[in-house]
Amino acid sequence: MTKGILGRKIGMTQVFGENGDLIPVTVVEASQNVVLQKKTEEVDGYNAIQVGYEDKKSLQKR
């Protein structure tokens, strides 16, 4: 099983470790994750899930 997190990269910063080392870190905004679709081996031939994390953008048609 694979574990992960979905989010949007905000930027980079740095923090100090307990021994004084400077550690570069990535700042990630993680909002609520929602399971959108479940694929099963019986129907789709493999097992998977589709996960979303933001509202869908509306398309502007002219």
Q: Dig out the tokens for 28 from the structure.
A: 């990630």
pLDDT over 80 at 32, yes or no: yes
Q: Are 37 and 49 in contact (CB under 8 A)?
A: yes
> Which residue type does 24 have?
P
Could you give the CA distance from residue 30 to residue 8 in angstroms, rounded to a whole number? Answer: 7
Range in 16-20, 30-34, 42-46 with the lowest mean pLDDT: 30-34
pLDDT over 90 at 9, yes or no: yes
The pLDDT score that the predictor gives to residue 59 is: 79
Could you give the CA distance from residue 35 to residue 37 in angstroms, rounded to a whole number? Answer: 6
The DSSP letter of residue 30 is -
